[in-house]
Amino acid sequence: MQSSGVSYVARTAESANLVYLDNSSTTRPDPQVIRAVNTVLEHDFGNPSSLHRLGAKAERLLDESRERVAGMINAEPSEIYFTSGGTEANNWAIAGTAASFGKERHMVSTTVEHPSVISLLDHLHEEGWEITLVGVDGEGRVDPQDIMDAVTEETALVSVMFVQNEIGTIQDCREIGRRLLGLGPRRPRFHVDAVQGFARLPIDVKDWGVDLLSMSAHKIHGIKGAGALYIRKGVRLKPLVFGGGQESGLRSGTENMPGIVGFGEACRVWSEDREEVMSRLASFRKRLITGIKRAFPDAVLHGPLEEGVAPHICHFSFPGFKGESILHALEARNVFVSTGSACSSHKAKPSPVVMGLGRSEVEALSSIRFSMSRNTTEEDIDRAIEAVAESLKELSAWRKK
């Protein structure tokens, strides 16, 4: 027991000392979320499908969480369907649409989407669907008119990521959605992958003309294994999971109550101070960019400098260095970052997102993403800048040997 206690203390001290700037991969669960999750695990553990009072209590918690998620995007609670996370939500939106049409047609997306979208579109192309991927400019921004130009009478779905998960570029989903609405009742469906922007930035599915929108809990200080798909009332979507008919018959399987309640609690926390948090992160992002450029003037920022970028994401290439080498040098200094999308970061391949900006393969392989959260402090930023300067100096010395 004593050794276990010492181990816990050591882990706690290490956790308190680290600088965690990989929040686009996952976030540390908020203490209020952890309390809500533990209450479900210890006390409110009933199955929401059960008829007794424990089941009724679980059902009330489920409804409350659904209301909180819906409130973040101006949706009706009945339009929120819980999933295992953002990847499932993206897959359901796209594959469910394909299955609903019953024949191969056409889909439009962009070249800078998340792997859970790109990989599925590749699969649908193999199945006979026509896929158009619209390119972006040097800052990762897609022109809404280019999206509209790609739409044909056979287009079943347009899928666009709200906040690019590697470089932070914000797409004008409102403009795209409203232009699609202008096509009339036979318009394509509009799906938004909002995993990186949900809760952090304002979203209004009604104003934007969105039909389907993907969300994830662990990106906003919830826990892993919970997410949701917004499905606009009246949109027919085939289920991917069959069984007991949970989630109004569209997503079977006993609901992950701890994850869902934690998701709802995370939404409540964000709803109280989102503007304050994001304003603070915007100032931290400026500080980080200035500090890194001072430490290494050749560093190349990917994505917009200030306007049209999510305040919590900052992505650089460091010419002459490998991103993975920088990552581990920073890790040795207790600073944790990433080289790209966490869903594909173990693959030793250049980021297709960075290359889609017109950058070279070498530049793409030299990339590092810094991503902040509501827990990030000014001290974290200053320590990260110092660690980058020390790491590049160390790596330069090794390279000269």
The encoded tokens of residue 179 equal 């232009």
Which residues, in sequence order, are bridge partners of residue 53? none
Reported for 58-62, long-range contacts at CB under 8 A and 24+ positions apart, including other chains, are 58/257, 61/257, 61/260, 61/261, 61/264, 62/255, 62/257, 62/260
117: helix, strand or coil: helix
Q: Which secondary-structure segment (H or E) carries 141? A: none
Whether 343 is catalytic:
yes
Strands 19-20 and 335-336: parallel
Of 173, 267, 314, 343, which residue is the catalytic one? 343
Instruction: Report DSSP letters for 57-93, one per residue.
Output: HHHHHHHHHHHHHHHHHT--GGGEEEESSHHHHHHHH
Cβ-count burial 382-400 (b if 16+ within 10 Å, e if not): ebbbebbebbbeebeeeee
Tell me how far apart the alpha carbons of residues 211 and 227 are, in angstroms, rounded to a whole number. Answer: 17
CB 105 within 8 A of CB 246: no
> Among all residues, which ones are annotated catalytic?
343
